[in-house]
């Protein structure tokens, strides 16, 4: 898809005002039904974990073990996707509930919460899909844009992507280290501080899942250990699938810093739209995805309670149709096919001439709209 050149600067700002109006409508309507929703999700996650771990301890019975793995996987997916990710975006801060406060919440993941909020909430959501600024573009190991330099190791990109999917939480944990900056604008001392924080968090997670709970199972140590490994693998693969389908389908646009100079809020909204893709599916599917199946809406409104994306998506799609903008959505199979196509295409050396996003250009220093 080519970036839109049919919109004037006035059109883009009018588009931005309409997106703001959708955001304000939801913000003014938040209340008890939203609180009931997140409390029900919290209960479901907690009961699933307790039941899953209990069933794993009866691991000598295959049906019990499989049920335990399923429930523990459900618990971990809900905690990471619909709870942890969204809580740390500040989606539930308006409730003033310490259990879901973005400033203090720590998720069931090897990545320290404050490091994730820097690399994700700030870097990714501010500089979405801007090559060399948004480190989520390829997570430092994959080439996902023609504007990223091709290297011979990219020929192995399909295998690299599969490895990243398998160990996704560990890729996320190491993401904010930004080792490529060492010797440039980052010191070994700064990296060492971050590495110690990652080690402390990772050690806690490893001890919990791979030592403590298996040890509590006594003679069922091996089945419980295997169940925990499988549940974490399921969570990793699912997170990778949803996140990559929201960011790297073949239609998703990438940007460079030159075309985002003096970016207004309307232009920032436009970049979020063009740099994201949605997934169609059932309500349970959307909940399990953390509503990141509505990646477009999430990038437009990162601090909006996620279950509201289902309500605002038709409004956003209608606005896009009126402005002649692509609203990239489709079933999981179609969107994942686009991800695979991009991974394969970018594994080969190729560079194309970029289209421009903005109707006008400037040589002034870049100024970015805030992400929230």
- pLDDT tens for 93-144 read 999 999 999 999 999 999 999 999 999 999 999 999 999 899 889 888 999 9
Q: What is the pLDDT of residue 228?
A: 97
Cα dihedral 9, 11, 15, 17 sign = positive
Tokens of 195: 């590495």
Q: What is the pLDDT of residue 3?
A: 65
Ranking 51-60, 77-86, 322-331 by mean pLDDT, the lowest is 51-60
Cα dihedral 358, 360, 365, 367 sign = negative
Taking 50 as the threshold, does the pLDDT of residue 193 lie above it? yes
Ranking 71-75, 234-238, 278-282, 362-366 by mean pLDDT, the lowest is 362-366
Q: Which residue has the tokens 């903005």?
A: 358
Q: 77 CB contacts (<8 Å, ≥6 apart)?
A: 234, 235, 238, 239, 288
> How many residues are there in the chain?
372
Q: Which residue has the tokens 């295998």?
A: 159
Cα dihedral 48, 51, 54, 55 sign = negative
CB under 8 Å, gap of 24 or more: what pairs does 39-44 form? 41/78, 41/82, 41/83, 41/287, 42/83, 42/99, 42/100, 44/78
Share of the chain above pLDDT 70, in %: 93
Enumerate the β-bridge partners of residue 138.
Answer: none
Q: What is the pLDDT of residue 370?
A: 40
pTM of the model: 0.91
d(CA 258, CA 226): 50
> What DSSP line would sit under 280-332, residue for residue?
---HHHHHHTTTGGGHHHHHH-TTS-GGGHHHHHHHHHHHHHHTT----EE-H
Q: Is 320 left (phi over 0), alpha (psi -120 to 50) or beta?
A: alpha
- CA distances 301 to 52, 246, 268, 295, 307, Å, are 34, 15, 12, 10, 12
């Amino acid at each position: 898809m080519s970036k839109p050149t049919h919109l004037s600067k006035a059109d883009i700002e009018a588009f931005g005002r309409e997106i703001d109006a959708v955001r304000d409508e939801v913000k003014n309507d938040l209340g008890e039904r939203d609180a009931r929703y997140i409390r029900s999700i919290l209960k479901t996650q907690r009961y699933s974990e307790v039941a899953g771990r209990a069933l794993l301890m009866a691991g000598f019975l295959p049906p019990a073990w499989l049920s335990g793995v399923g429930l523990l996987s459900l618990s971990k997916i809900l905690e990471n996707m619909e709870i942890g990710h969204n809580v740390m975006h500040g989606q539930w801060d308006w409730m003033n509930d310490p259990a879901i406060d973005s400033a203090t919440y720590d998720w069931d993941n090897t990545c320290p919460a404050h490091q994730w909020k820097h690399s994700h909430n700030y870097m990714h959501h501010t500089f979405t899909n801007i090559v060399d600024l948004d480190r989520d573009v390829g997570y430092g190991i994959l080439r996902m844009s023609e504007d990223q330099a091709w290297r011979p190791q990219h020929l192995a990109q399909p295998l690299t992507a599969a490895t990243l999917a398998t160990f996704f939480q560990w890729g996320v944990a190491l993401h904010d280290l930004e080792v490529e900056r060492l010797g440039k604008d980052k010191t070994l001392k700064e990296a060492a501080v971050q590495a110690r924080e990652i080690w402390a968090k990772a050690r806690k997670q490893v001890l919990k899942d791979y030592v403590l709970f298996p040890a509590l199972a006594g003679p069922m140590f091996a089945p419980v250990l295997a169940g925990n490994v499988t549940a974490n693998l399921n969570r990793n693969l699912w997170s990778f699938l949803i996140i990559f389908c929201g960011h790297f389908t073949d239609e998703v646009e990438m940007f460079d810093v030159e075309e985002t100079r003096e970016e207004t809020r309307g232009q920032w909204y436009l970049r979020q739209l063009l740099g994201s893709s949605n997934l169609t599916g059932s309500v349970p599917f959307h909940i399990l995805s953390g509503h990141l199946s509505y990646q477009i809406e999430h990038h437009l409104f990162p601090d909006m309670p996620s279950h509201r994306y289902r309500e605002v998506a038709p409004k956003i799609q209608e606005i896009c149709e009126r402005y002649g903008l692509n609203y990239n959505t489709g079933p999981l199979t179609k969107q994942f096919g686009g991800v695979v196509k991009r991974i394969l295409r970018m594994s080969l050396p190729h560079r194309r001439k970029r289209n421009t996003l903005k109707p006008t250009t400037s040589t002034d220093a870049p100024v970015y709209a805030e992400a929230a």
